[in-house]
């Protein structure tokens, strides 16, 4: 028989394996320990509310049976002395704590009858939210202070990135990596034991796992390609949802900007500034309120956290803070249109305000507003479509099977070529392959509706989106309280029509041009000068033409008879001191001037 291995080598292997085992145990304990940051910390009642969202139909019946049993037992124990009395505050707190603990411990698969885009798959979400959680949710939804960025920010420094833990994929995959590494340790110890039981020969063991190594090598290329493409598709879904959310926010800001810039203003004689008219001020405030209400109710349909706000209990909470009126709440509940009904109200208010004059701009601004509103409707409707059809079941199922098979084969395949170092290889490959798969799953849940991305803080913050829109709805209203003087009429004490008439009545500069004769010989030098004659019955425009031979005068009046006389050569009387030139002038009175029709200068010429 071959000689046994030296005792020193055996002892070194045992020390190495013992050290690796101790490190794995310490890492497993450290990884399973709760590690949270205050910025993304979730309090206990929020977790309880999230569990009740999915388990309310079960827990409501269970809680009713427990309450009835507890009530009967307590009544029997007290002998009926205080059976009709209310429980003490301590008993209520204990019962509430037990109920919350039972909700957190009870794990049940989430209903998939409703897509993840709608209420997290549970239509009773609002009734499963307690008063404290609902009050905090309404406070966050109506706040105008942005507390956190829309996603976790980073600094592109190598040392800084290596030191990060929360919000990284390593934190998300730590449990899987440690479990697979522990499995690799067991595999290495088993092979080491088999090699020593066969008189120290490891060739027999390696010959048996050689096919596994060949299969693993063949699968490596396929797994890498499929996983990379899967991650790319998942990121496309995440990016489309993020872009759609930003476009929704942008269209709402466009509506606020157009309404604030075209709101009708009046001159305040006390301050000397142009301010909103009372009707325009009321329209602007309603547009801003409907913008905020639409945004809140829309995200209640795509975010499970805000789903309670679209229920009767949630709408009543919004009414208590002034976000919605009693009549509007009743109409939304009766029609069941949610944010779509608010969009109809917003469109109707803006259209009627333009027709009534509260918003200026006429058909041009009306058309622009309708384009923005229809683009907004198409954009917010696409978010639910993207979440509902993010990816068919067969695709993630196949990728999950492929990755799990590849990772489980890693210790056997790596031991064939690396020996005990297969433990380290398994740890590294698990972190990267399982990390890419977990990252793809997180990206497929952009609004944290499945409690998957929320564990590591990798999600789009709906709180920030709502708060930024709330802030923007008030920003445009405040920004339009003052506008420059150049955006208003030049004279605040005269109506615009009088100002336009006065400008049209001012003498226009003379213009000269050469007109050819009909027979092509020679030409006329024509000088045109237009002046306005203001009369109570009509407005007259006189055009004078001068040339080297003489002058031809044409007077175009509103009266048909006078126009015929002008065609016959009977023009207005000549002005003294200007031979050959006939003009008709008058000094306009801006207070009594009526804006004339658009001028049509008639020029006649005769050949020299």
- The answer to whether position 588 is within a domain reads yes
- Which of 354, 389, 424 terminates a domain? The answer is 389
Question: What does the buried/exposed string (b/e) look like for 269-288 if buried means 16 or more CB atoms within 10 Å of the residue's CB?
Answer: eeeeebbbeeebbebbebbb
| Res. 95 pLDDT band, cuts 50 70 90 | low
CB count, 10 Å around CB of 502? 18
* Pairing of the two strands 551-556 and 539-546: antiparallel
- Tell me if 445 sits within 8 A of 453, measured CB to CB: yes
500-513 mean pLDDT = 54
- The answer to whether position 243 is within a domain reads no
283-312 mean pLDDT = 92
- Tell me if 227 sits within 8 A of 399, measured CB to CB: yes
Q: Could you give the angle at the alpha carbon of 74 between the alpha carbons of 68 and 76, nearest 5°?
A: 105
Grouping H, G, I as helix, E, B as strand and the rest as coil, residue 447 is: coil
What HEC string does 111-175 produce?
Answer: CCCCCCCCHHHCCCCHHHCCHHHHHHHHHHHCCCCCCCCCCCCCCCCHHHHHCCCCCCHHHHCHH
Residue 289 pLDDT greater than 90, yes or no = yes
Q: Distance between CA atoms of 370 and 458, rounded to whole angstroms?
A: 36
Q: What pLDDT shows up at residue 196? A: 73
Structure-model confidence comparison of residues 459 and 395, the more confident one: 395
pLDDT (tens digit, 9 = 90+) per residue, 292-304?
999 999 999 888 8
Listed in sequence order, the DSSP H helices in 37-105 are: 44-78, 89-105
- Tell me if 472 sits within 8 A of 287, measured CB to CB: no
- Extract the tokens encoding 305: 């956290």
Provide the domain limits for residue 587. Answer: 499-608
- Tell me if 551 sits within 8 A of 563, measured CB to CB: no
- The answer to whether position 93 is within a domain reads no
Q: Distance between CA atoms of 184 and 435, rounded to whole angstroms?
A: 18
pLDDT (tens digit, 9 = 90+) per residue, 152-182?
888 999 999 999 988 888 888 889 999 999 9
Structure-model confidence comparison of residues 198 and 182, the more confident one: 182
- Neighbour-count burial of 419, counting CB atoms closer than 10 A to its CB (0-12 exposed, 13-18 middle, 19+ buried): middle
- The answer to whether position 187 is within a domain reads no
pLDDT (tens digit, 9 = 90+) per residue, 400-419?
999 999 999 999 999 888 88
Q: What pLDDT shows up at residue 429? A: 94
- State percent of the chain over pLDDT 70: 57
CA dihedral of residues 161, 164, 166, 168 (deg, nearest 10) = 40
- Tell me if 241 sits within 8 A of 460, measured CB to CB: yes
Q: What are phi and psi of 540, to 5 degrees?
A: -120, 140
The pTM of the whole model exceeds 0.95: no
Grouping H, G, I as helix, E, B as strand and the rest as coil, residue 417 is: helix
Return the closest-CA partner of residue 558 out of 582, 574, 581, 534. 534
- State percent of the chain over pLDDT 90: 38
Q: Which residues contact 307 (CB under 8 A, 6 or more apart)?
A: 53, 119, 120, 122, 125, 126, 300, 301
Residue 232 pLDDT greater than 90, yes or no = yes
Residue 323 pLDDT greater than 90, yes or no = yes
Residue 75 pLDDT greater than 80, yes or no = no
- Which of 369, 389, 409 terminates a domain? The answer is 389
Grouping H, G, I as helix, E, B as strand and the rest as coil, residue 360 is: coil
Distances from the Cα of 274 to the Cα of 83, 266, 359, angstroms: 70, 5, 15
Place of tokens 């090699």: 195
- Tell me if 415 sits within 8 A of 422, measured CB to CB: yes
Q: Could you give the angle at the alpha carbon of 134 between the alpha carbons of 132 and 136, nearest 5°?
A: 70
Residue 257 pLDDT greater than 90, yes or no = yes
Question: What does the buried/exposed string (b/e) look like for 167-187 if buried means 16 or more CB atoms within 10 Å of the residue's CB?
Answer: bbbebbbbebbbebbbbbbeb
- The answer to whether position 128 is within a domain reads no
CA dihedral of residues 478, 263, 466, 239 (deg, nearest 10) = -120
Q: State the total domains in the chain.
A: 2
Gap between the terminal Cα atoms of the chain = 137
- The answer to whether position 451 is within a domain reads no
Q: What pLDDT shows up at residue 26? A: 55
- Tell me if 529 sits within 8 A of 507, measured CB to CB: yes
- Which of 341, 358, 389 terminates a domain? The answer is 389
- The answer to whether position 383 is within a domain reads yes
- The answer to whether position 449 is within a domain reads no
Q: Distance between CA atoms of 427 and 408, rounded to whole angstroms?
A: 11
């Amino acid at each position: 028989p071959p000689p046994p291995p030296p005792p020193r080598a055996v002892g070194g292997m045992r020390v190495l394996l013992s050290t690796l085992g101790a490190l794995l145990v310490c890492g497993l304990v450290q990884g399973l320990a709760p590690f949270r940051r205050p910025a993304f910390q979730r309090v206990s009642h929020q977790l309880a509310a999230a569990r009740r969202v999915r388990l309310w139909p079960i827990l409501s019946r269970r809680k009713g049976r427990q309450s009835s049993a507890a009530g009967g037992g307590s009544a029997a124990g007290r002998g009926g002395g205080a059976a009709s009395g209310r429980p003490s505050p301590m008993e209520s707190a204990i019962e509430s704590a037990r109920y919350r603990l039972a909700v957190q411990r009870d794990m049940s698969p989430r209903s998939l009858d409703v897509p993840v885009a709608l209420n997290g798959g549970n239509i009773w979400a609002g009734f499963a939210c307690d008063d404290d959680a609902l009050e905090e949710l309404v406070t966050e939804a109506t706040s105008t202070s942005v507390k956190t960025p829309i996603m976790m920010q980073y600094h592109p420094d190598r040392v800084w990135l290596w030191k990060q833990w929360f919000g990284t994929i390593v934190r998300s995959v730590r449990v899987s990596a440690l479990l697979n590494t522990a499995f690799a340790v067991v595999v290495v110890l088993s092979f080491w034991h088999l090699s020593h039981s066969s008189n120290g020969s490891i060739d027999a063991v390696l010959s048996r796992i050689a096919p596994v190594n060949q299969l693993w090598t063949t699968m490596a290329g396929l797994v890498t390609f499929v996983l990379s493409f899967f991650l790319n598709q998942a990121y496309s879904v995440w990016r489309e949802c993020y872009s759609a959310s930003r476009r929704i926010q942008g269209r709402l800001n466009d509506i606020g900007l157009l309404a604030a810039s075209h709101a009708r203003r009046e001159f305040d004689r006390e301050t000397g500034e142009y301010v909103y008219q009372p009707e325009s001020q009321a329209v602007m405030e309603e547009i801003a309120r409907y913008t905020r209400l639409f945004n809140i109710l829309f995200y209640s349909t795509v975010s499970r956290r805000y789903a309670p706000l679209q229920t009767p209990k949630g709408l009543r909470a919004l009414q208590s803070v002034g976000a919605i009126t009693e009549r509007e709440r009743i109409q939304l509940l009766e029609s069941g249109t949610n944010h779509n009904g608010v969009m109809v109200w917003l469109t109707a208010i803006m259209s009627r305000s333009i027709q009534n004059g509260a918003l200026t701009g006429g058909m041009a601004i009306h058309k622009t507003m309708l384009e923005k509103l229809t683009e907004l409707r198409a954009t917010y409707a696409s978010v639910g479509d993207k979440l509902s059809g993010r990816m068919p079941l067969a695709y993630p199922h196949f990728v999950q099977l492929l990755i799990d098979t590849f990772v489980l084969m890693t210790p056997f395949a790596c031991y064939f070529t690396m020996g005990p170092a297969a433990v380290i290889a398994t740890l590294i490959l698990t972190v990267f392959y399982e990390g890419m798969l977990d990252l793809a799953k997180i990206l497929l849940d952009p609004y944290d509706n499945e409690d998957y991305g929320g564990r590591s803080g990798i999600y789009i913050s709906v709180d920030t989106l709502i708060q930024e829109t709330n802030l923007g709805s008030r920003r445009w209203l405040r920004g339009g309280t003052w506008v420059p003087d150049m955006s208003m009429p030049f004279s605040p004490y005269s109506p615009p029509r009088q100002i336009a008439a006065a400008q049209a009545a001012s003498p226009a500069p003379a213009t000269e041009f050469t007109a050819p004769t009909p027979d092509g010989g020679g030409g006329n030098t024509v000088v045109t000068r237009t002046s306005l004659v203001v009369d109570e019955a009509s407005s007259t425009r006189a055009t004078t033409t001068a040339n080297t031979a003489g002058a031809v005068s044409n007077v175009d009046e509103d009266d048909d008879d006078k126009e015929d006389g002008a065609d016959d050569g009977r023009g207005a009387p000549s002005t003294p001191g200007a031979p050959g030139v006939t003009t008709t002038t008058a000094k306009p009175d801006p207070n009594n001037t009526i804006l004339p029709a658009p001028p049509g200068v008639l020029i006649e010429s005769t050949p020299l």
